[in-house]
Amino acid sequence: MIKKRFIFLLVSIFSIIWQGDLRSHAQSSRPDVVMAYVYNNSVHLAGADGLPIEDVGPMFEGQAGKLFWSTDGEILYTVRGNQLFQGYAAGGASVLQPGSYGLTITVDRGGQTLYYLESNNPQPAGDGFVTIPLRESNLSVLSSGPGRLVGYVGRYPSGISALTLTGAALQYARDGGILDSARPKLIATYGPTLFYSCCFPNAGIGAININSGETWLYEGTENVILGAADISSDLSRIIAPNTNNGVTIVDLITGGWRSYNLDLGTIERVAFGPNSRDAYLVVRQPPTNPLQLNPSILTPLDLRSAYITIWQLDLITGNTVRIASLGDFYGASSIAVTEDYIFVVVVESNAKAVEDLNAGRLPGDLSIDDPILRSTYLPNSILYRISFDGQEAISIMSNVWGVTARPHP
């Protein structure tokens, strides 16, 4: 059953006092740190130019991960596999927290409570689908045990978490999930409502009342890819690609939404600009050099690639301007917009493996599970720095992923 719900803003005296404390704390923090990412398999704080400032860890050894900031921009959370680490914009080594979590995780708007999907404990939902427990934990008293059960959310294919990925798809998945579907996501709204990816890998937004556990599908957002969503700097709106090659904005205060019908290509990533009047889009267009395997090759290699372009969308007028063209890549696994630049992580395609298969340097019946496709032929991930006027669009570092901009309330 689909329902339309409105989300009301509830402000308590406690939250006003607490937010005031955050602002005074933020003033004493490092202004030179504007974002974070994984570089050479370790989490780094980075400056306005995109270059690393400090290695704060943890180290990654092939695991997927997620980096996200507290709403005040003072705490950096890193998920590595099922482990949660806490670090700070001020620097210093990140610290492993007790408990077992997962990549579908968020904090509430006040920074007090952690919400996460217990993805290693799916429950049958009939017809080959499962539903996942949603849990909450108080960040001030994390423990090794599971958090409070809020309810069960979603309807997901039972084998979706057991996909075998190699090559470009594996490199992409560490950061951005599955091409075209991203990764399941949780977003805290105002009041007791939490948004979640209801139908992954398909589109759609579900909502759950964290007090009662009641769930519903959010009317009008059936085509929204929540996994690739971004939240505005004032935390009032989210923007996400939709399956109609456009984008949709959802107001987290009123519950209203607006879609922009665009004709640019497939929108893969989107992020609000610094003033939230503009949005920046990563758009997939047909590749200039499509990958092809000789007919005799039996290896089922992922041949997808796209010509990646960056666009600016004026959210008031709906006008779009192309800012930059990056070239042919497998995809763009993450985007971050700061006060100075747009940063995009792109993953190279499987072009090298295709070349060597066609040339006979690799056996034509190479198994897709062969370890060589996870090592020698694992494509690189590259960080691009792009100016708002498009005059600069350069690759500045390789072996970077998970880029996330630090919020500045």
Q: Which two tokens stand for residue 63?
A: 């695991």
The pLDDT mean for the chain works out to 91
**Residue 351: which of 170, 179, 167 has the closest Cα?**
167
Split at pLDDT 50, 70, 90, the class of 10 is very low
pLDDT, tens digit (0-9, with 9 covering 90-100), for 118-150: 999 999 999 999 999 999 999 999 999 999 999
**Closest alpha carbon to 154 in 188, 178, 119, 120:** 119
Looking at the domain that runs over 35-405, which CATH code has it been given?
2.130.10.10
pTM: 0.92
For 103, counting Cβ atoms within 10 Å of its Cβ (0-12 exposed, 13-18 middle, 19+ buried), the class is buried
> In the Cβ-directed half-sphere of 344, how many Cα atoms lie within 13 Å?
31
DSSP state of 178: B
Say which DSSP state 21 is in. H
Lowest mean pLDDT, pick from 183-197, 335-349, 387-401 = 183-197
Q: Where are the domains of the chain?
A: 35-405
For the beta sheet containing 320-329, the strands, ordered from the edge strand earlier in sequence to the opposite edge, are 266-272, 278-285, 306-314, 320-329
What is the percentage of the chain residues whose pLDDT exceeds 90? 84
What's the CA gap between 325 and 191, in Å, rounded? 41
Which of the two residues, 165 and 241, has the higher pLDDT score?
A: 241
